[in-house]
Amino acid sequence: AQAIPAPPAAAASKAVSAIADPELRAVLERFDAAQAGLTSLSAKFTERKEIGLLKNAVVQKGQFYHTKPDKFLWEYTTPEPKSLLMNGKSLIAYYPVQKQAEEIQTRLSRRLIKYFGLGQAFGDLSEYYNLALDRDNSVPGTHLIVLKPKMKRLEKRLLEVRIWIDDKINQVRRLEYREADGDRTLFAFEEIKVNAQIDPGLYKINFPGD
Reported as a single tens digit per residue, the pLDDT across 68-127 is 888 889 999 999 999 999 876 778 899 999 999 998 765 555 555 555 555 456 767 777
Burial class (CB in 10 A: 0-12, 13-18, 19+), 153: exposed
Q: What is the pLDDT of residues 70-80, one digit of tens each?
A: 888 999 999 99
pLDDT at residue 10 tops 60: no
For residue 44, the model assigns a pLDDT of 97
CA 11 to each of CA 6, 98, 110, 125, 161: distance values in angstroms, whole numbers, following the listed order? 10, 47, 22, 11, 22
What pLDDT is attached to residue 200?
A: 92
pTM, entire model? 0.84
Q: What's the whole-number average pLDDT of the chain?
A: 84
